Amino acid sequence: MISRLKSEALFAEALKHIPGGVNSPVRAFRAVGGQPFFVESAKGARVKTVDGDELIDYVGTWGPAILGHAHPKIIAAVKAAADHGTSFGIPNPFEVTMAKLIKSLVPSVDKVRLCNSGTEACMSAIRLARGFTKRDKFIKFDGCYHGHADCLLVKAGSGALTFGHPDSAGVPADFAKHTLVLPFNDPKSVSAAFAANRGQIAAVIIEPVPGNAGLYLPKPGYLEFLRKITAEQGTVLIFDEVMTGFRLAPGGAQERFGVRPDLSCFGKIIGGGLPVGAFGGRGDIMDFLAPLGPVYQAGTLSGNPLAMAAGIAALDELRSSRRKEALTDSKGKQVSLLTSAATFADDAYAHLEQLGAQLEAGLRDAAKSAGVAVTFNRCGSMFCGYFTSEPVWNLGDAMKSDRERFKKFFHGMLAEGVYLAPSQFEAGFISTAHAPADIEATVKAAAKVMKTL
């Protein structure tokens, strides 16, 4: 059982100075009840609370910590970069290195613009698509989150062909009127939307594997369908790979599923734990950005040297996992280094896949033994368990899950020393710092907790 005395005191103090006591809503534990704990430090696959308790962490800074927390090479890179200054507002060499890295890993990217968050990347990509096509409307999908820009805080209308309406106070209806919100994994609704808005849709933006409503996967052929119909309609296809980029494969979901978008949005891993964002894609579209083109986008801290150094270290460490194996052959003879994108990080991703499969099998067995209905979705090192007996392919399916049961499960796991996202509708993340023993301990805890549900 973890202690909470110091965390409770800090939260009481935070409530006096910060709205809701937190700087991002999901941290408030509103979805699961109770109060959040505060972290003192994190290392590898664990976080340590201010009360001294250690927890196996499956949130991983909401995705960036693919190598675990406080990886020594990332820490060293940030320290070295800081010695030269924390910010310039002037081009620095790290920006060029990062752009080249992204291009080498993601074949759909001809050019890339660095920014400071996933929200900024998605907002800018949509603006760019509108400027390039000279159209106003765009399609997003229910359950996909692309940041808190006004035009994106939109929920579905009353039908597939109706415009969405604001999902947050402070967003004028006019900001939402050009946003069409459709159900995920439903090709018919997409075809109908294009038919009803012929020649008016600038972009389709999608999380290829949605990770902000738990986790569900595209049905076979769905992403290929979106690629085909957008190409036919002269519409820009945008993949929001802020979560999935460099996590589901070296080239992200688009590599894993073999579908090439026109624009892609990135974040998380390319910052190594520091704030960062990026968007890139076809050169003819990207050249519409200022200073070359008429679409304005800017940021004083874009390409920040600390964030770039951290992200480069993270990507390089993933790459070096393959290089180290390539230094000698089976007889110990020196061989050439393998550095191509095709072999990039094979071992790191194989390790993540193995851990993910171990966790999935263990949690399925634990639920079955306890007689608890759970649908477990996983894609590589991303996962989510829904307390429902039905398959989950979209937000409507996800909403059928038993959220009260999830609350009990969340707090039970926390008491056992395992930290999951404090919401049924968030993905979990595995890092290379997790070991099979961590997964074993997690499954053992889940088996114990599920028997109490």
- Residues annotated as part of the active site: 145, 240, 268
Contact 216, 392 (CB under 8 A): yes
Q: What are the distances in angstroms from CA 242 to CA 94, 252, 348, 382, 434?
A: 20, 9, 19, 13, 22
| Run of H or E including 352 | helix 346-370
Q: Which two tokens stand for residue 441?
A: 């301990």
Please tell me whether residue 396 adopts helix, strand or coil conformation. helix
How is residue 338 annotated by DSSP? P
- Rounded-to-5 percentages of helix, strand, coil across the chain: 40, 15, 45
Please tell me whether residue 89 adopts helix, strand or coil conformation. coil
- As a whole number of angstroms, the distance between CA 433 and CA 8 comes to 29
How is residue 37 annotated by DSSP? -
Residue among 72, 60, 62 nearest 434 (CA): 60
- As a whole number of angstroms, the distance between CA 332 and CA 270 comes to 34
How would you class 23 by CB atoms within 10 Å of its CB: exposed for 0-12, middle for 13-18, buried for 19 or more? exposed
How would you class 10 by CB atoms within 10 Å of its CB: exposed for 0-12, middle for 13-18, buried for 19 or more? middle
- As a whole number of angstroms, the distance between CA 267 and CA 247 comes to 11
| Run of H or E including 175 | helix 173-176
How would you class 30 by CB atoms within 10 Å of its CB: exposed for 0-12, middle for 13-18, buried for 19 or more? middle
